[in-house]
Amino acid sequence: MSWEPAAGLGALRRRAEVLARIRTFFASRNVLEVETPVLAAAGGTDVHLAPLHTYLADGRRLYLQTSPEFAMKRLLAAGSGPIYQLGRAFRDGEVGRRHNPEFTMLEWYRPGWDHHALMDEVDALLAEVLGTAPGERLSYREALRHHAGFDPFATADGELRERAAGLGLAADDVDRDGCLSLILGAVVEPRLGRGRPTFVIDFPASQAALARIRQGDPPLAERFEAYVEGVEIANGYHELTDPGEQRRRFEADLAERRRRGLPDVPLDERLLAALEHGLPDCAGVALGVDRLVMLACGASSLAEVMAFPIDRA
Amino acid sequence: MATTYSMNQLRVGLKIMMDNDPAVITDTEFVKPGKGQAFVRIKAKNLNTGRVNERTYKASESIEGADVVDKELQYLYSDGDHWYFMDQTSFEQIAADAAAMGDTTQWIKEQDLCILTLWEGRPISVTPPNFVVLEIVETDPGVRGDTSSGGNKPATVDTGAVVRVPLFVQQGELIKIDTRTGAYVSRAKE
């Protein structure tokens, strides 16, 4: 057992500098800093996120946020204009070189912007903090074609499963998106963002999460992921604003959670009410600040830049 | 009775069952791109074959621990088919076969303490002491006037192993050997 910090003091100073630069960056662009609760009555329904929860003395169950997205969208619906937040998010079970169950997230929203305009701003922030060159944009299809050697939209389920088995996966109940997720994480990601950031765009509609879907053949999600030196750093959307579609996606998630035997999560009716009231057309993005500090320090694990990662918390 | 581990309990050095063989984890990586499903990739060395394999598990899976323990036992003798070891506190004897012994046979002498890795009570590998002192039973005489630097020659030691030694080391001398590399370390007194 060690009482000492995992990160060196140099890394902690660097972390403070990065946080200060982020605040200066947004102040100069007139984006308002906001704070929303870490504890909320409802949580994210995402099948691949495991929210933590706690109880108040009166018995109310509250969820630790997996991201501040829902509360920030309620501020946007109330007319906040552009906003950002630096805060803690919590995801159970995510432990590794680049994951810690409690982590610092930077999330921001731009009313009136689409995801392309927001990618430009993410690129500017990365240049400001990391000194990176202007980023490239690569479609999800091209990323898999180029780095994994197949077209994700034209490959049969059986072949995808064989490719996943080639990565040592024995489980036979992993679906199409699960196989793609493994191949992206294990094969493609490490090759992205080398020398300059890579923005992967045009995800399959089945991986839209809370992004709009653009009709076409195939329909594509207006979602992006940013990578720097093989590290996934940010995930953004041209945000879904349609309350009916949002409710359908929540309910589909809940049905899938039940099918997989995962715990139920209450729907965020307050978010849905805010969407009914009207969420402005906007783009939003979440960026992992610990990973940003890791890249700024040239470190290869979050533990090197966190005072007390989970095993020392 | 075997222990079961969830994916976030896995650590380097933990012994698990992989492909029906015991294996020791040498690397773990949590993979979760973007909004997708999470996986854990594990590299583990098969304790029967010594080969390192890579496997991917869903983060929700669990994995069976291997009933593997390391025990320090004293080498007694060999009958040619088996090598017999004794627990110095219980006096229990355990026999290891040639597959478990591997290269260890060429380093050990009676009374040496070795680490036996036991899987469900059966030895699957035997590790000799890191350093052993052995007698040179055969080597060419060195050229007179050689200094301790430069040049070496093969020498057969009393366990049968052949070691490269400096030219000045002579037949009948005791030498210290690093069994992990098979390299000569120094001359030895006892």
State ipTM.
Answer: 0.90
pTM here is: 0.84
Q: What is the pLDDT of residue A156?
A: 95
Q: What is the pLDDT of residue A8?
A: 95
A294 domain residue, yes or no: yes
A77 domain residue, yes or no: yes
A261 interfaces chain B, CB cutoff of 8 Å: no
* Cβ <8 Å between B56 and A186: yes
**pLDDT score of B50 more than 70:** yes
Closest B-chain CA to A44: B35
A197 domain residue, yes or no: no
Q: What is the pLDDT of residue B190?
A: 67
Core vs surface per residue B117-140: b (16+ CB within 10 A) or e: bbbeeebbbbbbeeebbbbbeebe
pLDDT tens for A110-143 read 999 999 999 999 999 999 999 999 999 999 999 9
| Alpha-carbon gap, residue A34 to A72, rounded angstroms | 8
Q: What is the CATH number of the domain that holds A29?
A: 3.30.930.10
Q: What is the pLDDT of residue B138?
A: 94
Output the six-digit token pair for A303. Answer: 């533990």
A188 domain residue, yes or no: no
* DSSP codes of every residue in A235-284: EEEEB---HHHHHHHHHHHHHHHHHTTPPP----HHHHHHHHHHPPSEEE
A174 domain residue, yes or no: no
CA separation, residue A254 to residues A240, A245, A258, A261, B90 (Å): 18, 14, 6, 10, 58
pLDDT tens for B57-69 read 999 899 999 999 9
What is the residue-averaged pLDDT of chain B? 91
Name which of B37, B55, B57 is nearest A48 (Cβ-Cβ): B37
Q: What is the pLDDT of residue B150?
A: 67
A127 interfaces chain B, CB cutoff of 8 Å: no
Q: What is the pLDDT of residue A75?
A: 98
Residues of A in contact with B34 (CB under 8 A): 181, 184, 207, 225, 232, 235
Q: What is the pLDDT of residue B73?
A: 97
A281 domain residue, yes or no: yes
* Cβ <8 Å between B56 and A164: yes
A173 domain residue, yes or no: no
pLDDT-based confidence at residue A2 (cuts at 50, 70, 90):
confident
Residues of B in contact with A261 (CB under 8 A): none
pLDDT tens for B88-145 read 999 999 999 999 999 999 999 999 999 999 998 899 999 999 999 999 999 988 665 5
Tell me which residue range forms the domain holding A114: 9-133+244-312
Name which of A98, A169, A207 is nearest B36 (Cβ-Cβ): A207
A289 domain residue, yes or no: yes
Beta-carbon-side half-sphere exposure of residue A292 (alpha carbons within 13 Å) = 30
Number of domains, chain A: 1
Could you tell me if A271 and A260 are in contact, meaning their C-beta atoms sit under 8 angstroms apart? no
**pLDDT score of B149 more than 60:** no
**pLDDT score of A308 more than 90:** yes
Chain B residues with CB-CB distance to A under 8 A? 7-8, 28-39, 41, 53-59, 61
Name which of B32, B34, B41 is nearest A99 (Cβ-Cβ): B32
Mean pLDDT within A69-97: 96
pLDDT-based confidence at residue B147 (cuts at 50, 70, 90):
low
* Cβ <8 Å between A168 and B56: yes
pLDDT tens for A148-195 read 999 999 999 999 999 999 999 999 899 999 999 999 999 999 999 999
